[in-house]
Structure 1
Amino acid sequence: MDRIDFDDAEAYEPDAGWRRVALAGDDDVSLEWFEKPPGHSSPMHDHENGQVCLVLAGELTIYTEDEEATLGQYDSVWLDPWESHRVENTGDATAVGLDVFAPGRSFDFWTDRETDD
């Protein structure tokens, strides 16, 4: 067993107010808690990992190249590996969720990303 205390877990902010916390996981699967302020959107991106996004509080809209889905509390979505997507908080309050990645991944995906800025 590998216990992770939330307050001691590795955390970072890819953008101001968008906080992510690494929870239990390994090379096969990883779990990240996140909070996203109203109006914030991740950039359109893809990755080798399949992803489940579960909303714990608030509202998130998931956009792919062909579809969009607005999720409320306890709703979830599956994103296939390499499926381009972005996640936006389209509600009025901070959204909180869990991302599950298979295979697992580290924070390097966001911290080492190249931007067009």
Structure 2
Amino acid sequence: MAQRNRFFYSDWGILRIRVLYNPLVYYIQGRRKEEMKGSLTYWVREKSDRLRSLKLTVWSVHDHAVLETRGLAELRRIRAQRLIDESLQQGARLSYRDLSLILLTSKSTLKRDIKLHGK
């Protein structure tokens, strides 16, 4: 019996494939560079067990400047805050697990960053 590929069928694998695949589709379709905004459609489960889609900005045009001037940790904090704000504007909350999947980091790192960013 054939074994399933753990990377492909894990949450991390699917997310990585989507992050890599979406810009490729935009490029192939010949869209302008401004339309590639680094956005992601993320599905969250509500309390009523319904799935809800959120449009989240994973990458912004200002992220590169933040990375060069303030470093990777500050960029991660800014991205986490942006994702939290966007999800709240759309009427949903992201868990630490959701944020860790989107930002490709650990829950403990996110908890530390959010605690430091809140001060």
Normalised by the length of structure 1, the TM-score is 0.31
Q: Relative contact order (C-alpha < 8 Å, sep 6+): which is higher? A: 1
| Structure with max Cα Rg | 2
Normalized per residue, the structure richer in helix is 2
Normalized per residue, the structure richer in strand is 1
